[in-house]
Amino acid sequence: MRSVGVEEELLLVDARTGAPMAVSGAALAAADRSAWQRPDTVGPDHEFEKELQKEQLEFATEPAVDMGELQQEIVRIRAEAARHAASAGAVVAAVATSPLVVHPSLNVGSRYRWMGDQFGLMVQDQLTCGCHVHVSVASDEEGVAVLDRIRPWLAVLTAMSANSPFWQGEDSGYGSYRSRVWNRWPSAGPVDLFGSADRYHEQVRAMIDTGVLCDEGMIYFDARLSATYPTVEVRVADVCLDAATPVLLAALIRALVETAARGWQDGRPPARIGTNLLRLASWRAARSGLDGPLLHPVTMRETSPEQAVEALFLHVRGALEDHGDDERVREALSHLYERGNGARIQRRLRAEGQSLASVVTRCAAMTIGALTGGPAHL
């Protein structure tokens, strides 16, 4: 069975005001100290990394096969992140944009300085927190065949994960405004069919050779081959409030990868949906989240979010059954519909009269399960 890993980016905020705090360096130093204290340690080895802005903390899980174990790992690392943030005077919040006004602080390092010089004001706006899912593939050829076949389904994942309705103190009108900010990068978003691994690598090299991008890490396709691991990396999701939601996404994405790989092995061609239509589907998903129409992944016509998600479920159901995930995914989808995604929860809190500061601090508590008696289980 294919292994899955999850990367999450968390916002570091003041526990009282909800304002983002530029303390990632202190939080990472705390993680280093904690790692050194482990028995038989040979270095500061831990799950955390710095991100573009000092107001963010990123972590990555180890690859897992069992979805229950993956959720336990996410819950554990979120708790660790909260502990390290506390040593820096902050808390962590799994929100994909800051609801409050913020002027982000670019992190240290020559690569980030290059990006700041190259992209100017756009980099200063880029305080966004995503969730990336890695799924193992046997080869680059299989990986590119998967990339070509999962394209129409990715916007549904954006809608499911939408968790960024507020931007710089205002309601953006979007469920996932993060995805709109992120797509300002010139290499981001949906891409054309590649057809082969050689063609994929040729295009990546050509993009880097333009000088617009500094390295392969700036290939920000909605889904790409990882430059580090033998995986397909799907990058369309907002970071999610409930720790069960990234596990739901991981189960669906693994099933998408498996379904696509089987289609390739059986000689079935990918759907030839134009990138222009995929961009419209991506915009529609960001705008609506689960609270308005989406574009159906097969017909590219407006449909309800429930019908779009059901189409995804039915498309991958065979793989879900083979993985033993079908019933658990069904239950998790019911929970998601009942409670709502992060965008709906944030707006609900605001409609109840909560200040934006309170919205953030309550979301920080939800991030580690403190307001719900623990995260829901897939």
In a domain, 272, yes or no: yes
pLDDT at 222 over 70: yes
Residue 44 above 90 pLDDT?
A: no
pLDDT at residue 311 greater than cutoff 90: yes
Which of the four pLDDT bands, split at 50, 70 and 90, describes residue 45? low
The pLDDT tens digits for 192-215 are 999 999 999 999 999 999 999 999
Residue at 372 is within a domain: no
Q: Is residue 327 part of a domain?
A: yes
Name the residue with higher pLDDT: 47 or 282: 282
Q: In sequence order, what are the residues at sequence separation of 6 or more whose Cβ sits closer than 8 angstroms to the Cβ of residue 44?
A: 31, 32, 33, 35, 36
DSSP string, 27-40: HHHHHHHHHHTSTT
Instruction: Give yes or no for residue 377 having a pLDDT over 50.
Output: no
- Asked whether residue 256 carries a pLDDT value surpassing 80, the answer given is yes
Measure the N-to-C terminal CA separation of the chain; round to a whole number of Å: 18
CA angle 100, 158, 367 (to 5 degrees): 50
**Does residue 203 lie in a domain region?**
yes
Distances (CA, A) of 32 to 6, 54, 70: 21, 17, 23
Q: Are 364 and 79 in contact (CB under 8 A)?
A: no
Cα(241)–Cα(246) distance, integer angstroms:
9
Rounded average pLDDT over 133-158: 98
pLDDT at residue 296, rounded to an integer = 98
Q: Does residue 76 sit within a domain? A: yes
Q: Is the pLDDT of residue 270 over 70?
A: yes
**Average pLDDT, integer, range 138-152:** 98
Model pLDDT for residues 337-367, shown as the tens digit of each residue? 999 999 999 999 999 999 999 999 999 999 9
What are 57-93's pLDDT values in tens digits? 999 999 999 999 999 999 999 999 999 999 999 999 9
Q: Please determine, for residue 9, whether its predicted confidence score (pLDDT) is greater than 60.
A: yes
Per-residue confidence (pLDDT) for residue 378, from 0 to 100: 47
What is the pLDDT at residue 307?
A: 98
Torsion angle of the four alpha carbons 17, 22, 24, 26, in this order, in degrees rounded to the nearest 10? -90
Largest CA distance in the chain: 57
Predicted local confidence at residue 35, as pLDDT: 77
Q: Cα 114 to the chain's mean position, in Å?
A: 24
**Over pLDDT 70: what percentage of the chain?**
95
Burial class for 366, CB neighbours closer than 10 Å (0-12, 13-18, 19+): buried
Is 340 within the bounds of a domain?
yes
Q: Which helix (H) or strand (E) holds 225?
A: strand 223-225
Q: Is 157 left (phi over 0), alpha (psi -120 to 50) or beta?
A: alpha
Q: Is the pLDDT of residue 376 over 50?
A: no
* Residue 377 in domain: no
Domain around 328: 4-367
Q: Which residues contact 376 (CB under 8 A, 6 or more apart)?
A: 242, 243, 244, 332, 335, 339
Rounded mean pLDDT of the chain?
Answer: 94
Tens of pLDDT, residue by residue over 107-119, are 999 999 999 999 9
Q: How long is the chain?
A: 378
Cβ–Cβ < 8 Å for 167, 97: yes
CA 292 to CA 169: how far, in whole Å?
23
Q: Which CA distances in Å does 108 have to 53, 111, 219?
A: 9, 8, 21
Answer whether 286's CB lies under 8 Å from 176's CB.
yes
Domain count within the chain = 1
Q: Looking at the chain, list the stretches that DSSP marks H as alpha helix, in order from N- to C-terminal side.
A: 24-36, 67-87, 110-119, 121-125, 140-150, 154-161, 177-182, 197-209, 244-265, 275-288, 305-323, 326-339, 342-351, 356-367
- pLDDT (average), residues 44-64: 91
pLDDT band at 4 (very low <50, low <70, confident <90, very high): very high
CATH number at residue 201: 3.30.590.20
Q: Per the domain annotation, does 88 fall within a domain?
A: yes
Instruction: Decide: helix, strand or coil at residue 114.
Output: helix
CB 339 within 8 A of CB 242: yes
